[in-house]
Amino acid sequence: MSSAIKVEELRKSYGELRAVDGISFEVQAGEFFGILGPNGAGKTTTLEMVEGLRQPDSGTVSLFGESPWPRNPRLLPRIGVQLQASAFFERLTAREQIRTFASLYGVPARKADEWLGVVGLEDMADKRNEDLSGGQQQRLSIACALAHGPDLVFLDEPTSGLDPQARRNLWDVLRDINSQGRTVVLTTHYLDEAESLCDRVAIMDHGRILESGPPASLVRDLDAPTRISIESGVLTADAARTLADGVEVSDDGVSLTLATRTPAPVLSALAERDALRGLSVRGATLEDVFLHLTGREYRA
C-alpha cells in the first residue's frame, strides 16, 4: 500500500501558543483515519496544514508524494475538504451552491444535484443557505466536499450538529466512499463514531499525538475493567463486594456498578443470587481510552 499522507515533525505556533507541537503520522491510501482530541488540542490546525491552507512553522507534509504548500494545483482536484466553519456563497440556494462548487472541478450540474440527494437535501434544494438549519448547512458543506469524487477527503467534525438519523446516514455515505478506495481523514468528538468508522485513530492533546492505532487495540491496551450494572437495591454494596476478588463497587441510587477485570465469575455469582434485574455489561470503550489519556478537566 502506498501512503496518501505523510507528516513529519509538524509544528505551528500562534505567538506563544504551540498549537501543533511536533507531530508525525502516516495515512495509507484507502485508510479511514480519525484524529481525536479535546477542544483546542490542535486538530483543525493540523488538518489545515495538511490540506495546504496554512504554512507550517516547520516540518513536512506530503500528499501522494507532493507538498500541498504553496497552493499546489496538481493536488487540489484530488482532495475534498469540509472545513470546520462552513463556507458558502452568499444568497445562493443549496442547489446553486453545490453546482457552483462542483463546476470549479468540472463536475456537471446533474451529478452535483445527485449529491443533494445523498445527504438528504433534495427538499431543501431551492432554499438559500442562510435559511437552512445548522445541520442542513453541515450536510450541504459535506456534499460540496465530496461531489467531485476526491481521492482524499478531509472532514473536520462532519457530524457536529447532526441529528442521530443524519449522523447514521452520513456514516453510511462515508463508509461507502471509503469502500471505493478513497482515503478519509476526519476529526470528531464522538468516540463511538471514531470506533465505528475509523481503521486507525490518533489521540491528540496540547499539539501532540498521545497515542495512535486501531480503536480496538487501543481499548485492549488500556486494560480497563468491565463494568457490570444492576438495579440499585437488589443487592447491597457490601454483599456485592464479596462476589469475587478485586471487585470495585459503587452505588449511585439508580444502579449498582461492579468494576472487574474478570467478569465471568461475577456474572455467574449474580445469576446464582437471581440478582440480574436491570443488568447491563459495558466493556471499556474508546471513550475510556480518551479520558484516560487526556484527563477530565475542561479545556480552554
Partner 1 sequence: MTGFVSLSAAMARGFFRDRTAMFFTILFPLMFLVLFGGLFKDSGASKTDVLQIGSVPVLEQLPAEAAAGIGQVLAVERTDDRADALEQVRKGDKAAALEQVGGELIVHYSAADQVKSATVQGILESLVQEANLAAAGVTTPALKLSAKPVEDESLKAIQYMTPGLLGWAIATGATFGAALTLVTWRQKKILRRLRLSPVPVTSIISARVSVSIVIALVQSAIFIGVALLPYFGLQLADQWWGFIPIMIAGTLAFLSIGLLAGAVAKTAEAASAIANLITLPMAFLSGAFFPLEGAPEWLRTVSEFLPLKHLVSSMQDVMVRGEAFSVTLPDIGILLGFTVVLSAAAAALFRWDDA
Ligand X SMILES: Nc1ncnc2c1ncn2[C@@H]1O[C@H](COP(=O)(O)OP(=O)(O)OP(=O)(O)O)[C@@H](O)[C@H]1O
Contacting residues toward partner 1, per CB under 8 A: 51-54, 71, 73, 76-77, 79, 81, 83, 85-92, 96, 99-101, 103-106
Pairing of strands 79-82, 152-156: parallel
In the region spanning residues 62 to 91, those forming contacts with ligand X, defined by CB under 6 A, are 84
Smallest gap from residue 42 Cβ to ligand X (A): 4
> Looking at this protein, which amino acid is placed at residue 73?
P
Q: Is there binding between residue 17 and ligand X (CB under 6 A)?
A: yes
Whether a cis peptide bond, with omega within 30° of 0, leads into 38 is: no
Smallest separation, CB 191 to ligand X (Å) = 13
Candidate residues 34, 37, 68, 263; the one interacting with ligand X per rule CB under 6 A: 37
- Shortest distance in whole angstroms from residue 267 CB to ligand X: 38
By CB under 5 A, is residue 229 in contact with Mg ion? no
Q: Min. distance of Cβ 107 from partner 1 in angstroms?
A: 9
Residues 25 and 286: their CA atoms lie apart, in Å, by 20
| Structural contact between residues 257 and 227, judged by C-beta atoms closer than 8 angstroms | yes
Query: Residue 34 and residue 184: Cα distance in Å, rounded?
Result: 8
Residue closer to Mg ion by CB (options 20, 98) is 20
Closest residue to Mg ion, judged by C-beta, is 44
Query: What is the distance, to the nearest Å, from the Cα of residue 286 to the centroid of all Cα atoms in its chain?
Result: 11
Q: Which does 39 bind (CB under 5 to 8 A by kind): ligand X, partner 1, Mg ion, none?
A: ligand X
CB nearer to ligand X: give 142 or 244: 142
Residue 154: CB minimum distance to partner 1, A? 9
- Torsion of Cα atoms, 139 then 140 then 141 then 147, to 10°: 110
Q: Which is nearer to partner 1, 134 or 233 (CB)?
A: 134
Binds ligand X (CB under 6 A): choice among 34, 42, 56, 263: 42
Binding residues for ligand X, rule CB under 6 A, total 12
> Taking CB within 5 to 8 Å according to partner kind, which of partner 1, Mg ion, ligand X, none is near residue 30?
none
Q: Is residue 14 a contact point for ligand X (CB under 6 A)?
A: yes
Q: What are the residues whose beta carbons fall under 8 Å from the beta carbon of 34, sequence distance 6 or more?
A: 185, 186, 187, 188, 194, 197, 198, 200, 201, 202
Q: Which stretch binds Mg ion (CB under 5 A): 38-46, 73-81, 245-253, 265-273?
A: 38-46
- Closest-CA residue to 83 (of 54, 44, 57): 44
Smallest separation, CB 76 to ligand X (Å): 22
Judged by the rule CB under 6 A, the positions of this chain that interact with ligand X are: 14, 17, 19, 37, 39-45, 84
